[in-house]
Amino acid sequence: MDINQATLASAPEASSGAPLQFEFKASGSEYFRIWIVNLLLSIVTLGIYSAWAKVRRNRYFYSSTQLAGSSFEYHGNAMAILKGRLVAVAFIAVYNLAFKTSLALGFLMMALFAAMMPWLVWKSLQFKLYNSSYRGIRFGFRGDAKQAYLSYLLWPLLTFISIYLLAPMMHQRIKSFQHNESRFGVTHFSFDAKVKQFYWAYLVGFGIMLAGVVAISLVFGGSVFAMLASMRKGAAAPGIVLSLFGFFFALYLWLFAVYPIFLTLLQNLIWNHTKLGAHKIASHLHWGRMSFIMLTNVLGIICTLGLFIPFAQVRALRYRMECMSLQAAGSLDHFIADNQEQVSAMGEGMADLLDFDLSL
């Protein structure tokens, strides 16, 4: 596809000394109108409209994301996504029927599903990137099926066998596959984060989580033991129930607070080690701000019985996008489009229906 020369001429020149900040122009009120119509039409059509809903949502979010004065674009075809989802629905129906018919047949279908999953993820990555563009140039994904099976079948199996001690290494291998095989036109992305850096991020996140759990256990454990001791003297039992409730509530709040720390560590690690050609990508999420957004989003969703969901999505996306920047090594006008064949949406439709999350 040819570059839109008028867009390029009007875009600001990139300087190697000035990072270009990503901007997210979406608003909660605008997206609420899209979200509520998508929800109602999906319910009325028994889910058929959900493919068109996804295209509308993605087009809005992509067009709201800007870099150097230009927006991203989404080109996914709703009918193609719907076909992929129909195949997924049929497969899930056969999978459930197999277990009702025969346990052996059910496990056979489970093995078939596990064998298909890397292929689905591979096709999903191809579809997502091919149908994304910036300044008229499409992204692409050139990884092959063999690499997909190594990343999404072999490494998960090894991680399970190792009792998840290999989880950071698996994560590093997956991100290396995703980023190194991605393209913008003919320009390659690259990823240079090491396995030890993933282990460090996991250890920091796990260490913070464990420290909080121990502290909460010590605080409430003492109260529970005190209540048990007082019971022997004829004290009422409700105090113990209250202490147990406080323990589990505090534990839940702490685990909820730890998740943004882990998310922040990983997003910064992954994107700070990603480049597009000579252009370096940077991310500077802050845990405190991320935690505040997540907490207030949950409270807003609960208090509005779910109607705050689109506002919550926009708030979270805006912060994550606006914490990213591109340290340009020169002008962004020099990218060249690549001639790519159109890819099937079956992987995307099935992966979306089965809720594969590839973003992190």
The verdict on residue 212 lying in a domain is: yes
The verdict on residue 236 lying in a domain is: yes
pLDDT at residue 103, rounded to an integer: 85
The verdict on residue 145 lying in a domain is: no
pLDDT at residue 81, rounded to an integer: 87
Largest Cα span, the chain: 85
- Per-residue pLDDT for the chain (360 aa), expressed as one digit of tens each? 443 443 434 444 444 567 899 999 999 999 999 999 999 999 999 999 999 999 999 999 999 999 999 999 999 989 888 888 888 888 888 888 888 888 888 888 888 888 988 998 898 899 899 999 999 999 999 889 999 999 999 999 999 999 999 999 999 999 999 999 999 999 999 999 999 999 999 999 999 999 998 888 887 766 666 666 666 655 555 666 677 777 888 888 888 888 899 999 999 999 999 999 999 999 999 999 999 999 999 999 999 999 999 999 999 999 999 999 999 887 777 776 666 666 665 556 556 655 554 444
The residues, ordered by sequence, that sit 6+ positions from 130 with a Cβ below 8 Å of its Cβ are: 138, 139, 140, 141, 340, 342, 343
Query: Are 132 and 356 contacting, i.e. CB atoms less than 8 angstroms apart?
Result: no
Nearest-angstrom CA–CA distance, 285 and 290: 7
The verdict on residue 66 lying in a domain is: no
Going through 162-256 in order, the beta strands assigned E by DSSP cover 182-184, 187-191
Residue with tokens 């039992």: 237
Q: How far are the Cα atoms of 1, 14, 194, 310 from residue 24, in angstroms, in the given order?
A: 25, 19, 30, 15
What is the value of pTM for the model shown? 0.84
The verdict on residue 166 lying in a domain is: no
Instruction: Beginning with the edge strand found earlier in the chain, give each strand of the sheet holding 23-24 in spatial order.
Output: 20-21, 324-327, 279-283, 274-276, 187-191, 182-184, 137-141, 132-134, 70-74, 65-67, 23-24
Q: How far are the Cα atoms of 137, 139, 184, 292 from residue 187, in angstroms, in the given order?
A: 11, 9, 5, 37
pLDDT at residue 348, rounded to an integer: 62
The verdict on residue 199 lying in a domain is: yes
The verdict on residue 147 lying in a domain is: no
Number of domains observed in the structure of the chain: 1
pLDDT at residue 13, rounded to an integer: 45
The verdict on residue 24 lying in a domain is: no
Identify the H or E element spanning 73: strand 70-74
Long-range contacts of 4-10 (CB under 8 A, 24+ apart): 4/135, 4/136, 7/70, 7/135, 7/136, 8/135, 8/333, 10/69
Give me the domain span that covers residue 227.
193-272
- How many CA atoms, within 13 angstroms, populate the side-chain half-sphere of residue 50? 13
